[in-house]
Amino acid sequence: MKQSLRLGRVAGIPVGINWSVLVILVLITDIVAGNVLPRADAGRSTTLYWAIAIPTAVLFLASLLAHEGAHAAIARRRGLGVRSITLWMLGGVAQLDGEPPNARADFAIAAAGPLTSLVIGGVLLGGAQAAASLGTPAAIVAALAWTGATNVFLAVFNLLPGAPLDGGRILRALVWMRSGDRARGDRAATGTGQIMGAALAGGGIAELIFLGQTGGLWLMLIGWFLVWAAGSEAKARAVQEAAAGVRIRDLMVPEPECATAWRPVGEFIATVAARSRQSVFPVTGFDGLPCGVVTLARLSRVPPARAGDRVDSVATALPPDYAAAPDDPASSLVGRIPLAGALLAAVVADRRVVGMVTTDDLGRLVQQSLLRARSTPSPVE
């Protein structure tokens, strides 16, 4: 999940939000101001309702951050690094640096989030009751109670046993703990997640068609997301398994044609790109090291008037962590966002580009792994 806005760091962890958070903030504010508060405390001004609804939405966002922060805190205690926390429309994602070392750690990390949401929900519901007993305006009491009840609902929903929900992680950990096979746990979690997502989407369609309830659209959205996310996790696991024990030198394109940063675009197109079998080209600087990447698709969109421009003016910059060594594990590329939609790594040795890895190369690795698995004879019992 890509961060659209960096909020800062919490305990050294980069925290940000995806643009979709703005959508959910507007929706929550509208629901609270237009429905929850008027029902609880009728006759107040619209301005007052919105003045309470806006901090309520922010409080809800903070509770999502606490949920993901709990995952991150337990992951750190179990020896895992945390790259970032990103909040988005349907919750949040704590990106861990690595995998849990054992089933117990997996269980603890997964359970920490829902447990935190339950605690927050209980505290807010208790706070709402205390506020009511002290004569606090009914609108403020309703805002606290709504936020508390929503946290409890999210905790319960997250405990549903299917990936990518926390309940799916817990299911994976339990199967892993019992069988000793993490892959079996992954299959159980992703399979259940896809079935559960399809059921929710189907229920949403039925609610929309037969009952005419627009709430069915939310069920459809959530169900679609679960199916998509569970399928994505299954694919990612297949890539992880295919990449196990493989080095980058084993799947890279050796000695690729490169574009020097200062070369005119028109000259590079005419002499290299127009005849090359590559669709991706690393861009190198004066020191011979990679500094960017350019694709055939991008070059084809360069207008003739810019033929004299330098290649690096139309290239995508290459972050330092996209330069790899030939003996680095191929698993380090799994989950990486491809640069320019294609490049996963520029392979460097002796201060020059000796290879590159693209999404096609990683996909080929997975397909070859599946073919080998299919051609391996089953053991005779």
230 and 264 within one domain: no
Give me the number of domains the chain comprises: 2
| 284 SS3 class | strand
Last residue of a domain, one of 213, 243, 273: 243
Provide the pLDDT for residue 210. Answer: 87
Q: What average pLDDT score do residues 241-249 get?
A: 87
Give the pLDDT band (50/70/90) at residue 198.
Answer: very high
3-state helix, strand, coil in the chain (%, to 5): 60, 15, 25
Provide the pLDDT for residue 232. Answer: 82
237 and 160 within one domain: yes
254 and 207 within one domain: no
Last residue of a domain, one of 243, 276, 301: 243
Structure tokens, 71: 């995952």
274 and 230 within one domain: no
134 and 51 within one domain: yes
Provide the pLDDT for residue 161. Answer: 92
183 and 94 within one domain: yes
199 and 70 within one domain: yes
Last residue of a domain, one of 192, 210, 243: 243
Asked if pLDDT for residue 126 goes beyond 70, the answer is: yes
* Strands 323-324 and 81-88, bridge-based pairing: unpaired
Asked if pLDDT for residue 335 goes beyond 80, the answer is: no
CA distances from residue 336 to 111, 181, 278, 339 in whole angstroms, order as listed: 26, 25, 21, 9
Provide the pLDDT for residue 95. Answer: 81
Q: What average pLDDT score do residues 27-53 get?
A: 94
Give the pLDDT band (50/70/90) at residue 236.
Answer: confident
339-370 per-position pLDDT tens digit: 988 999 999 999 999 999 999 999 898 888 87
ω into 164 cis (within 30 of 0): yes
Q: What average pLDDT score do residues 149-156 get?
A: 95
145 and 56 within one domain: yes
217 and 279 within one domain: no
Structural domain boundaries, residue 347: 248-367
Active site residue 68: yes
62-79 per-position pLDDT tens digit: 999 999 999 999 999 998
365 and 330 in contact (C-beta within 8 Å)?
A: yes
Tell me the C-alpha distance between 168 and 191, whole Å: 10
Q: What average pLDDT score do residues 193-221 get?
A: 88
159 and 20 within one domain: yes
Asked if pLDDT for residue 380 goes beyond 50, the answer is: no
Q: What average pLDDT score do residues 125-150 get?
A: 96
Residues annotated in the binding site for Zn(2+), as ranges?
67, 71, 166
77 and 43 within one domain: yes
Looking at every residue in the chain, the average pLDDT score rounds to: 90
CATH number at residue 270: 3.10.580.10
Asked if pLDDT for residue 381 goes beyond 70, the answer is: no
Residue 218 belongs to some domain of the structure: yes
273-301 per-position pLDDT tens digit: 999 999 999 999 999 999 999 999 999 99
84 and 3 in contact (C-beta within 8 Å)?
A: yes
Residue 381 belongs to some domain of the structure: no
Provide the pLDDT for residue 146. Answer: 96
Region of poorest pLDDT, from 23-32, 128-137, 267-276: 23-32
Tell me the C-alpha distance between 105 and 171, whole Å: 13
- Residues above pLDDT 70, as percent of the chain: 97
For residue 322, give the nearest of 299, 342, 347 by alpha carbon.
347
Q: Which of 68, 233, 255, 267 is catalytic?
A: 68
Asked if pLDDT for residue 207 goes beyond 50, the answer is: yes
Residues annotated in the binding site, as ranges?
67, 71, 166
